[in-house]
Structure formats: structure tokens, C-alpha cells
Amino acid sequence: MANLAVDVVSTQVTVDTSTTYQTIDGFGFSEAFWFGLAVQEAPAAQQTQALNYMFSTTEGAGLTILRNRIAADPGDTIEPDSPGSATATPTYTWNDDDATQVFWSQKAREMGVEYIYADAWSAPGYMKTNDNYEEGGYLCGVTDETCSTGDWRQAYADYLVQYIKYYENAGITIDFVGFLNEPELAVDYDSMLSDGTQAASFIPILYSALEEAGLSTGIVCCDAEGWNDQVTYTAQIVEAGAEEYLSRISSHWYTSRGTSPINTTLRVWETEYADLNDAFSTVWHSSGAFNEGLTWAGYIYQGLVECNLSAFLYWIGAQSGGNAATLVNITGSGSSTTVTPSGTLWAFALFSRYIRPNAVRVATSGAPGNTDIAAFENTDGSIAVVMVNTGSTSQSVSLGGVSIASVDAYVMDSSVSSPTSLSTAISDDNVVATLPAYSLVTFVITT
């Protein structure tokens, strides 16, 4: 910590640990649809580099949640062929790889990931009203949906349990399971339609199947395409009396971003959002574009503070030749493989490195102009205070409200290529520092 002369007027920011909000589960990404193959097949040095960018709390983002896809297409699913009826004995198959997700799950656990969330985009086609794993269709047997082959809800629950067991056999615990993904959409890849009432008619069946199998895996619902839709689904689930069987509520942010909390007693996750259209970018800030790091710092802050999110996930972690939907881009092959972090990765880093699982968001008061501030108390007693300066001028702050033994501060702005230390001083039990223009700064206070 550098010794700075305190000779400027600073805006006072006060942390109040007596006022608490949501518990944080973490930050994460997915490697679904074989996106992680380039890392799995990369030379050892580049593979290590890519994994460090994902999971290391010193070299990378320190992400703590991995979201896997439970495939429904016949080429990847564990039950490619119909047993003939909903009550017939299924024939399962397992390839020990699961589209690279076994590799990613093993590496994630080795490197400190807290939660693995396995989510099914759809049931296998023969369990659905349209007899197709694509193009929507409903699970046979949910509210208002029947099929000549029977009620497939129990069979779908058993199928999800078997998937979890295969991972258990590989030494990998699945902490959470989902059975829907963007249930508003009928598209030409794994997809299944549902509303909240229909989801509620399946949730208790899945809950019982997990219990009977001796699994502690929690159920997540419903990964809606947009926040506003998830608000509706959640209300329907609550009205149907199924909320008690869930562990988490989940939503994407594509069609609508969250601006206020969902009315639920459960922790809420944003499980998928990304820039799907722009080019991959290492830019921190230029014009405020969708693919810039500072933009995503603002979104993460919005989720944590305005929506009381317990988790914020990007879409893809690392992939080959990706666009802005990926946090880390892999190019080349063999010894010429290059691993490049995005500006967005560093936005996640200054949250996830220092706001660890089971941290609790606490209150703050005071903020300079154009600056958003949030504080979190970790289980080790440290306080992480995140400040997002979206303005074109630097801002001086004086941070207090807790007894300060020491402080470290880290900054990301356009002058650096990755997070670096920021100089601070301690004066009258306050941390004094200057936030650069267009920057994200995290203070880690030891009390």
C-alpha cells in the first residue's frame, strides 16, 4: 500500500455491515454445445492459461459456477431411443465425456469452483407433445398437455437423476439441476415450452425422484429468456405451491434485463446473458458498446444491487474463434495456439475474485457522481467494496464505516490490459483513493 498525501476533497462512502441483503453464490459461465473442445485439446501450456483465466483468483476471473447442458439431441443424450412408453424400462448410455463437460467439471472442481449447475434445454423428443427434441413442444403430462404414449413426467425425472448419477460415478457432484431453458422459445435446437404452472406440475415429481435416489441436488427453474417472463413464471410456481421444492430461481436477460427483485423467498440467479452479435473484443471502454468490459461491469452491478441476484453468469467461458459471446478466445492450433482474454472477463474478475461464495451484500451510503458502489462481507470477515466509475473524470473517495486493519485495491481501466493494484492511503480510519475515469475498482478491506 503506497503512502499518499491526503490533500483533495473526497466524497465520503460509508459501509454499514449491520444492514444486510442477499447471500452471494458466485459468478460463472458455460461450455455447452462442445464450446470447450478447443481448451480440452489445447497444448498443456495454453490449456493451463485458459483455465487460469476462468478460475484463478490471481491470474483470471476466479469464477465459481459452471453451467452444463444436459443434451436432448440423439447424438449426445444419455437416452437416445424411446423405450416405447412412459412406463417402459429405459436404456441409458454414457460416453464419459459429455461434450467436454466432464473435463471442464473436473478442472473446475480442482480449481475451486463452488457449484456445478446442470440444465436440460429439453426432454428427449419422444417425451414431448411434438415428438421432437427441437422446435418446442411440451413435456407429456404437464398441465393441459397429454400424449398417446402416456405421462412422461416421472420418466423425465428419472432421466435427470440418471444423468446426475453418471457424474457422481465420475467423482463430480452436481449441485443444482434445471429442466427448462428459455421455455418461451421453439427453436431448431434443444428446446421445450412451458409456463410456470406447467413447470409446477413437474417440480414435485423431480424433487421426489432426487430424494429417493439419495441425491442432495437442488432444483432450479426456469432459465427464462427474459427477466420479465421469469417474474411471471415464478408467480405461477408460487401460486401452484411448488416454490418449496426449489432451491434457486433462474433467468436470462436477453429479452429483458432485471431492474428490480423477483418476488420469491429463494436465491435468484441470472444464468445466461452475453453479447451474441458483436466481434470478440479486448476493449475496456471506448464508446460504451455492448462488447466492452465497463459495460458488463455495469450489468453485473445492476444485477447484484437492483435485482438482489445471488449469481451472475455469462454465456460462454472459452471457445475457438468466438465472437463477443465468449470471455476468452482461442485461436490457432498446436504450439501456435493463442489464448486471449476479453475486456468483459476483467469486469467479472473484479467482482468474482474478491466477492466469494457465501459473501453477504451489505449497505453503503454516499457516492461520487457517475459512480455505482456496492459492498460485500466475506465469510473470512474481509469487506469487498466495488466502485464503478462510468464518468469521464476521476473521482476521489474516502471509504469508511468499518475498522480498517489493512486494504488492497485493484483497478481496471483503459490504461491497463488486466486488473492492477491501485494506490491508497488510510487516514482517520478511512481508505482514501482516486477512481480513474471509466474504471472499475475493488477495495478489499481487512477489518
Q: Which domains does the chain have, with CATH numbers?
A: 11-19+362-446 (2.60.40.1180), 26-358 (3.20.20.80)
Average pLDDT rounded to a whole number, residues 370-396 = 98
C-alpha grid cell, residue 237: 410456481
Residue 122 exposed, middle or buried by CB count within 10 Å (0-12, 13-18, 19+):
buried
Q: What is residue 104's predicted lDDT score, i.e. its pLDDT?
A: 98
Q: What percent of the chain has pLDDT over 90?
A: 97
Residue 99 has pLDDT above 90, yes or no: yes
Closest by CA position to 349, among listed 302, 305, 317, 396: 317
- Which pLDDT band holds residue 9 (cuts at 50, 70, 90)? confident
Kindly compute the dihedral angle of the four CA atoms of residues 415, 419, 425, 431, in this order, to the nearest 10 degrees: 120
Average pLDDT rounded to a whole number, residues 99-112 = 98
C-alpha grid cell, residue 88: 417402459
Residue 269 bridge partners (DSSP) = 250, 311
Residue 94 has pLDDT above 60, yes or no: yes
Q: What is residue 7's predicted lDDT score, i.e. its pLDDT?
A: 46
C-alpha to C-alpha distance for 2 and 422, rounded to whole angstroms:
9
Neighbours of 330 (CB within 10 A): 26
Whether a cis peptide bond, with omega within 30° of 0, leads into 222 is yes
Average pLDDT rounded to a whole number, residues 10-18 = 97
- pLDDT per position as a tens digit, 125-167: 999 999 999 999 999 999 999 999 999 999 999 999 999 999 9
Judged by average pLDDT, the poorest of 1-5, 99-103, 214-218, 291-295 is 1-5
Average pLDDT rounded to a whole number, residues 255-265 = 98
Average pLDDT rounded to a whole number, residues 20-31 = 98
Query: What value does the mean pLDDT of the chain take?
Result: 97
C-alpha to C-alpha distance for 416 and 112, rounded to whole angstroms:
27
- pLDDT per position as a tens digit, 35-74: 999 999 999 999 999 999 999 999 999 999 999 999 999 9
Average pLDDT rounded to a whole number, residues 219-236 = 98
Q: Within 13 Å, how many C-alpha atoms sit on residue 178's CB side?
A: 27
Residue 6 has pLDDT above 60, yes or no: no
